[in-house]
């Protein structure tokens, strides 16, 4: 049997209309109704609205969690199970759901609070950098106050996070093929999120984590574990810690993973894996039709 990992994209992968294929499914309809009671707004309506609203952190994160969780449920219904799971930033919450660590409602309540706290964050800046000298970048980040490597996505693409002044200082002093400032309210995955992380920790403390049914590679520590206490501890550090996606990808062949299925909108993660681990088979699942097929 092919050893398979399921991976889940995070904020930035959302697409207007990403619920369209799910609307005729009774099971999906029930999930949408559950979500509306918890959130106080309709995931379906937001996903069918304009791009600006869907891209608002407050809405983006819950919408992605709900849509990706529904796809997980549909795959399970067909008898599919992974050997390993991982998610990029917000996607880690879906990975924990897929591994049976948290139930749908607990996960959505966590994501709702996370989104609220992150959308309230202000005064920070993030920028994606492509094509750079890693040694030069890491040296400059280390020398610059209030800037960190927030997302280590691949050898050729990272995201830095920090104060606007610090981010500008790094961008203006290293050579890159491209540098793009992200439309976010705060310096996510940096120490500047500490107040929000402390508030979130209070919510996380009250949620029960179960033993994972399959190993999880966490953003903060990409080593496979199933222990609930370890997974909760790692998740508690995620808001201020770096997303170590490059290391997660490199761990896949070490763990004998032969195929990766990206579950959710877009193909960002499979694109990164294709360039990093070319021998691993890849598949994208973003509609119920693909699962039925």
Beta strands in the chain (DSSP E): 4-8, 84-87, 125-132, 147-154, 157-162, 176-181, 216-217, 259-263, 281-285
**Predicted pLDDT at 35:** 98
d(CA 97, CA 27): 16
d(CA 157, CA 182): 14
**Predicted pLDDT at 39:** 98
Tell me which CATH homologous superfamily contains domain 4-121+190-292: Malonyl-Coenzyme A Acyl Carrier Protein, domain 2 (3.40.366.10)
Is 88 a residue of the active site? no
190 touches 209 (CB < 8 A): no
Q: What does the pLDDT look like over 246-278, one tens digit per residue?
A: 999 999 999 999 999 999 999 999 999 999 999
Is 69 a residue of the active site? no
pLDDT band at 122 (very low <50, low <70, confident <90, very high): confident
Question: Is a pLDDT exceeding 80 seen at residue 293?
Answer: no
Q: Where are the domains of the chain?
A: 4-121+190-292, 125-181
Query: Catalytic pick from 13, 89, 161, 190?
Result: 89
- Percent of the chain surpassing pLDDT 70: 100
**Predicted pLDDT at 177:** 95
**Predicted pLDDT at 121:** 85
**Predicted pLDDT at 292:** 85
d(CA 89, CA 122): 19
> Which residues share a beta bridge with 86?
7, 217
pLDDT band at 93 (very low <50, low <70, confident <90, very high): very high
pLDDT band at 56 (very low <50, low <70, confident <90, very high): very high
Give the mean pLDDT of 211-230.
Answer: 98
pLDDT band at 57 (very low <50, low <70, confident <90, very high): very high
14 touches 93 (CB < 8 A): no
pTM: 0.96
Query: Catalytic pick from 88, 189, 190, 218?
Result: 189
pLDDT band at 114 (very low <50, low <70, confident <90, very high): very high
196 touches 117 (CB < 8 A): yes
Question: Is a pLDDT exceeding 80 seen at residue 13?
Answer: yes
Domain 125-181 falls in which CATH fold?
Alpha-Beta Plaits (3.30.70)
């Amino acid at each position: 049997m092919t050893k398979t990992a399921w991976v889940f994209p995070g904020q930035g992968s959302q697409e207007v209309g990403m619920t369209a294929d799910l609307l005729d499914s009774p099971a999906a309809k029930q999930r949408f109704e559950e979500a509306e009671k918890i959130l106080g707004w309709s995931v379906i309506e937001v996903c069918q609205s304009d791009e600006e609203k869907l891209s608002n952190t407050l809405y983006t994160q819950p919408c992605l969690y709900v849509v990706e969780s529904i796809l997980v449920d549909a795959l399970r219904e067909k008898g599919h199970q992974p050997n390993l799971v991982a998610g990029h930033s917000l996607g880690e919450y879906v990975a924990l759901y897929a591994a049976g660590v948290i139930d749908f409602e607990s996960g959505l309540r966590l994501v709702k609070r996370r989104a609220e706290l992150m959308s309230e964050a202000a005064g920070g800046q993030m920028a994606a950098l492509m094509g750079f000298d890693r040694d030069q970048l890491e040296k400059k980040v280390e020398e610059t106050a209030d800037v960190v490597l927030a997302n280590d996505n691949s050898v050729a693409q990272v995201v830095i996070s920090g104060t606007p002044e610090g981010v500008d200082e790094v961008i203006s002093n290293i050579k890159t093929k491209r540098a793009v400032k992200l439309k976010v309210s705060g310096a996510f995955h940096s120490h500047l999120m500490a107040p929000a992380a402390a508030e979130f920790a209070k919510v996380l403390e009250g949620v029960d984590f179960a033993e994972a049914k399959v190993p999880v590679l966490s953003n903060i520590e990409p080593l496979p574990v199933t222990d609930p206490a370890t997974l909760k501890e790692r998740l508690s550090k995620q808001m201020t810690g770096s997303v170590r996606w490059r290391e997660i990808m490199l761990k896949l062949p070490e763990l004998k993973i032969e195929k990766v299925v990206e579950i959710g909108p877009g193909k960002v993660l499979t694109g990164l894996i294709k360039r990093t681990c070319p021998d691993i088979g890849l598949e994208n699942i973003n509609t119920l039709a693909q699962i039925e097929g």
